[in-house]
Amino acid sequence: MDLISIIVPCYNEQEVLLKFYNEMKKVIKEMSDVKFELIFVDDGSKDKTLSILKKLSQKDKLVRFISFSRNFGKEAGMLAGLRAAKGDYVAIMDADLQDPPSLLPEMYELVRSGEYDCAATRRTTRKGEPPIRSFFARMFYRVINKMSDADIVDGARDFRLMCRKMVDAILSMQEYNRFSKGIFGWVGFRTKWLEYVNVERAAGETKWSFWKLFKYSMEGIMAFSTTPLYVSSIMGFIVCMIAFVLACFYAIKALIFGDPTAGFPTIICIMVFLGGVQLIGIGVVGMYLSKTYLETKNRPIYIVRETEEDYKDTSEE
Ligand code: UDP
Ligand code: MG
């Protein structure tokens, strides 16, 4: 019998926790051919989240919980959950019922059939979100997909069900600054995208302020792209070209009209040119730095999806 681990990061979720648990219980009852474990990660909540979790875990042996010493962020919560999960399949869900548990049976079928390694979800609308926030979110996805080779899908939620191989691949990424949306894309594997219309939070408030989201997006760009490090090289090259054009312009002007302020054009051209050379220099340093940066991340060089060994024991039976 397969075991599905459900990871639920919770930060101040006292209003919705029991609602979520009851909804989950319904789905668990429906899917009687699989075993479940619910791993709640309390991310340093300041309300009654932890005491609710303690009670739940005493009452129901499916429930496990991990409680952090302070708020470390959702990324840390997801990592702790993934490390603790023992399941053959692992799903990540929000506690606020924005990720409908009713999708789980379909997701499980898709992954179990072996056709896909992962069933992920994407919301098609951003209804119920401030327009400015949607605008910046769209811009962010456009920019990061240009700058990075990890495929980062607009509107993708963290709600996904993965096979054990994919979870192990994600855990093999040891980097400290974790940007899961990028990591999920980076490890590859065959992903089926399920789409659904955005559901609003069942109760409680969103934990993401605009500023927090902005910082998160910057983290995403820095974790999955080194382009900003050598942008200055490109700028330097452009500035050098400008200096060259300026020099030609002043030379021709001096030939035709004479040179009323002697030395002035020379100084301008030299200044612009040197500015460009310095920018190129900074960009070169950036290129080396980007290599060092990637080396220190110590990411796996490749990830194997299957080999003939995966089929051995089934053929011997
Ligand atoms: N969360 C967390 N730590 C944090 C912020 C959020 O574990 O520092 C959890 C939160 O409890 C919820 C999920 O991450 O289960 C998503 O948070 P939220 O619903 O506030 O984000 P939104 O759905 O508005 O993007
Ligand atoms: Mg939410």
In the chain, where the domains are located: 3-225+300-316, 227-297
Degrees to nearest 5, angle at CA 233 with 228 and 239 = 125
Asked if 186 and 224 count as a contact pair (C-beta separation under 8 A), the reply is yes
pLDDT given at position 169: 94
Residue 158 Cβ inside 6 Å of ligand 1? The answer reads no
Confidence of residue 315 (pLDDT cuts 50, 70, 90): low
Residue 150, pLDDT above cutoff 60: yes
Q: What average pLDDT does this structure show over 96-125?
A: 90
CA distance 53 to 8: 11
pLDDT given at position 226: 87
pLDDT given at position 130: 81
Tell the residue nearest (CA) to atom 16 of ligand 1.
94
Asked if 315 and 248 count as a contact pair (C-beta separation under 8 A), the reply is no
pLDDT tens digits for range 203-226: 777 878 888 888 888 888 888 888
Enter the DSSP assignment of 274: H
Residue 174 Cβ inside 6 Å of ligand 1? The answer reads no
Element (H, E) at 316: helix 309-316
- The environment of the single-atom ion ligand 2, i.e. residues with CB closer than 5 A, is 94, 96, 98
Alpha-carbon distances, residue 244 vs 240, 248, 280 (angstroms): 6, 6, 15
pLDDT tens digits for range 26-66: 999 998 899 999 999 999 999 999 999 999 999 999 999 99
Residue 316, pLDDT above cutoff 70: no
Å from CA of 206 to ligand 1 middle: 7
Whats the size of the chain, residue-wise?
A: 317
Rounded to 5 degrees, what are φ and ψ at 17? -55, -45
Tokens of 234: 């490109």
pLDDT given at position 168: 94
Rounded to 5 degrees, what are φ and ψ at 194? -100, 135
Confidence of residue 314 (pLDDT cuts 50, 70, 90): low
Residue 207 Cβ inside 6 Å of ligand 1? The answer reads yes
What CATH number has the domain spanning 3-225+300-316? 3.90.550.10
pLDDT tens digits for range 223-262: 888 888 888 999 999 999 999 999 999 889 888 988 777 7
pLDDT mean across residues, the chain:
89
The answer to whether the Cα torsion of 102, 106, 112, 116 is positive or negative is: negative
Query: Which residue among 53, 74, 129, 133 is best mutated to probe the pocket of ligand 1, counting the most ligand atoms within 8 A of its Cβ?
Result: 74
Element (H, E) at 3: strand 3-10
Å from CA of 247 to ligand 2 middle: 58
Degrees to nearest 5, angle at CA 127 with 124 and 133 = 100
Residue 123 Cβ inside 6 Å of ligand 1? The answer reads no
pLDDT given at position 310: 82
Q: Judging by DSSP bridges, how do beta strands 35-42 and 63-67 pair with one another?
A: parallel
